[in-house]
A and B are shown apart, each in its own frame.
Chain A
Amino acid sequence: MTTEVLERKPSEKETRLQIIDCDIHPTMGSLSDLNPWLSQRWQQHIVTYGEFVRQGLSKTLSHPRMQPAVSRADAWPPNGGLPGSHLPFMQEQHLDANGVEYGVLQPLRPNGNSQRNLEFGAALSSALNEWQLAVWTGKDKRLKGSISVTQEWPEAAVKEIERHAGNADFIQVALPPRSSEPLGRRRYWPIYRAAVEHGLPIGLHVSGVNGHTSTASGSPSFYIEEHHHNVQSMQGLVTSFVLEGVFEEFPALKIVLIEGGFGWVPALSWRLDKHWAKMRDEVPHVKRPPSEYIREHVWYTTQPIEEPENPEHLIDLIDWIGWDRLLFSTDYPHWDFDDPHTVFKVKLTEAQKQQLFRGNAQKLYGLK
């Protein structure tokens, strides 16, 4: 039997999808992984006292998660360790397999930003940043870090931003949407000033232990409920940024809401505009309709994507928000991972795909 091999170039349609993934979680085995970048004092502090975040039961999450380690069941590295802890396996299973051109790291633990002991929190954040450089971005040039800061101690946060500004391995400043006060408040403005000065967007990945319940009327009963209230956190912080006048003070500030959905954006914008039309005299520093600030200053990552019953409605939704506002993300290795090949249940044009999967993030983060 003979076999003929036809040689031909792949058509444009068959060219492999290249993506910029704006939400990848690197994990560490234990806090002691940070020892190379922690002083003797803080290493000993971990052993003797440990972490005290702003809630009871500080070593656990407020609600049990959907899957062990909040992760895909197939993301546990074969050689042991937690999902997201082993770079070669992450490369094989995700970066290489899914054509990731750049991946934005969102380390969630330890959360220096939620420590009651601010000095300890700042030390953890600094060490976490060094860990990102040494263990991840230094070993795979596709990966880009997020500068972790302790937002409840803005002076330390600014120093940390200045320490890394100009290093192309960091492309944004990470803040938790659940902070001690709404993030538009003036106490946080030094952080925004520093971010703008250094041309860094603020990335807000769902996180933060602030001691407040996640709803305005107390703690939810279920994980599904807690998971959904991430959306409320995002709406609250966008409202705070707009009405406190943050975007008026910092016209170049860019914020990225990560894993908080986007279906709510048009409704919030419409409603804020309506209220602003009647009550703008209370907030004279908000000079334009809120929707305009939102349209200019806010970006959203796609995962976990909205799945309307009629998939075509997703197109309407993005028309309302703006095709240049959405950044593709997978959330690898977490359980609610969005696969780039199946995430959109509706047909997108090549231009739309190019924007969502790559172009918007490339432009926002200034990636080559």
Chain B
Amino acid sequence: MSQHVVAAVGEVASGASKLVTVKGREIALFNVAGEYFAFFNRCPHAGAALCSGKVVRRAYSEEPGQYKLAQDHPMLRCPWHGWQFDLRTGEAWCDPKTITARNYPVAVEPGAKLAKGPYVAETFPVAIDKDYVVIEM
């Protein structure tokens, strides 16, 4: 396992995503209201690029005829067939026990700390006065 700097904080707007490559793998990075999530860019169902997916809120229902959207439970919705994955665990909503979208731990670290290493900044230089998004894989 190693840590990889993939974006500067502020580079990916809230609600947006960025496709990055780490160790030869395409990774979809999402910023959800300042919280970052990283997924292998391939849906476990049929291979769609999850980077084009949409972050939605989990729908739930307490009784027939009504539904609510969970405020604190973001889901990643695949751009093709609409499969949804829990952004925090990667578990598929339809079958959490057996189907999971591969995800990776993400942290935000200050440039001053990163400059000392042992982090790997593969795509751009790190400035000590900024914060960066770091993926561990």
Q: Do A and B bind each other?
A: yes
Task: Mark A residues whose CB is within 8 Å of B.
Answer: 66-67, 72-74, 335-339, 341-343
Give 3 nearest A-B pairs by CB, closest first.
A74-B52, A73-B79, A74-B79
Given contacts A66-B82, A335-B80, A343-B46, 14 further A-B contacts (CB under 8 A): A72-B79, A73-B52, A73-B54, A73-B77, A74-B48, A74-B49, A74-B52, A74-B80, A335-B82, A337-B80, A337-B81, A341-B47, A342-B46, A342-B47
Query: How near does chain A come to B28, taking the closest CB pair, in angstroms?
Result: 12
Is B90 an interface position by the 8 A CB rule? Answer: no
Would B53 and A73 count as touching, CB distance under 8 A?
Answer: yes
Give how many A-B residue pairs fall within 8 Å (CB-CB).
Answer: 33
Main secondary structure of the interface of B (DSSP, over half): loop
Complex: chain B residue closest to A73, CB-CB: B79
Query: How near does chain B come to A46, taking the closest CB pair, in angstroms?
Result: 33
Complex CA gap A336/B77 in Å reads 14
Chain A residues with CB under 8 Å of B45's CB are 342
Main secondary structure of the interface of A (DSSP, over half): loop
Complex CA gap A341/B43 in Å reads 13
Chain B residues with CB under 8 Å of A337's CB are 80-81
Task: Mark B residues whose CB is within 8 Å of A.
Answer: 45-49, 52-54, 77, 79-82
Contact A338-B46, Cβ < 8 Å, known A73-B53, A74-B52? yes
Query: How near does chain A come to B110, taking the closest CB pair, in angstroms?
Result: 32
Would A335 and B81 count as touching, CB distance under 8 A?
Answer: yes
A339 partner, pick from B47, B53, B54, beta carbons under 8 A: B47
Chain B residues with CB under 8 Å of A335's CB are 80-82
Chain B residues with CB under 8 Å of A73's CB are 52-54, 77, 79-80
Chain A residues with CB under 8 Å of B79's CB are 72-74
Can you report 25 A-B residue pairs in the complex whose CB atoms are below 8 A from each other? A66-B82, A67-B82, A72-B79, A72-B80, A73-B52, A73-B53, A73-B77, A73-B79, A73-B80, A74-B52, A74-B79, A335-B80, A335-B81, A335-B82, A336-B80, A336-B81, A337-B80, A337-B81, A339-B47, A339-B80, A341-B47, A342-B45, A342-B46, A342-B47, A343-B46
Complex CA gap A74/B47 in Å reads 13
Complex CA gap A342/B81 in Å reads 13
Complex CA gap A350/B14 in Å reads 46
Complex CA gap A335/B77 in Å reads 12
Query: How near does chain A come to B82, taking the closest CB pair, in angstroms?
Result: 6
Complex: chain A residue closest to B77, CB-CB: A73
Complex: chain B residue closest to A345, CB-CB: B46
Query: How near does chain B come to A64, taking the closest CB pair, in angstroms?
Result: 14
Most B C-beta atoms less than 10 A away, residue of A74, A336, A338, A339: A74
Chain B residues with CB under 8 Å of A341's CB are 47
Chain B residues with CB under 8 Å of A343's CB are 46
Chain B residues with CB under 8 Å of A342's CB are 45-47
Most A C-beta atoms less than 10 A away, residue of B45, B46, B53, B77: B46
Complex: chain A residue closest to B54, CB-CB: A73
Chain A residues with CB under 8 Å of B82's CB are 66-67, 335
Complex: chain B residue closest to A337, CB-CB: B80
Would B81 and A339 count as touching, CB distance under 8 A?
Answer: no
Query: How near does chain A come to B84, taking the closest CB pair, in angstroms?
Result: 13
Complex CA gap A72/B46 in Å reads 13
Query: How near does chain A come to B54, taking the closest CB pair, in angstroms?
Result: 6
Complex CA gap A122/B80 in Å reads 35
Query: How near does chain B come to A29, taking the closest CB pair, in angstroms?
Result: 22
Chain A residues with CB under 8 Å of B47's CB are 339, 341-342
Most A C-beta atoms less than 10 A away, residue of B45, B49, B81: B81
Complex: chain A residue closest to B50, CB-CB: A74
Chain B residues with CB under 8 Å of A74's CB are 48-49, 52, 79-80
Chain A residues with CB under 8 Å of B80's CB are 72-74, 335-337, 339
Query: How near does chain A come to B102, taking the closest CB pair, in angstroms?
Result: 15
Complex CA gap A200/B18 in Å reads 47
Complex CA gap A343/B81 in Å reads 13
Chain A residues with CB under 8 Å of B54's CB are 73
Complex CA gap A227/B5 in Å reads 45
Complex: chain A residue closest to B49, CB-CB: A74
Complex CA gap A337/B49 in Å reads 13
Query: How near does chain B come to A18, taking the closest CB pair, in angstroms?
Result: 18
Chain A residues with CB under 8 Å of B49's CB are 74
Query: How near does chain A come to B128, taking the closest CB pair, in angstroms?
Result: 29
B48 partner, pick from A66, A67, A339, beta carbons under 8 A: A339
Query: How near does chain B come to A40, taking the closest CB pair, in angstroms?
Result: 42
Chain A residues with CB under 8 Å of B52's CB are 73-74
Query: How near does chain A come to B74, taking the closest CB pair, in angstroms?
Result: 16
Complex CA gap A335/B52 in Å reads 13
Complex CA gap A341/B45 in Å reads 12
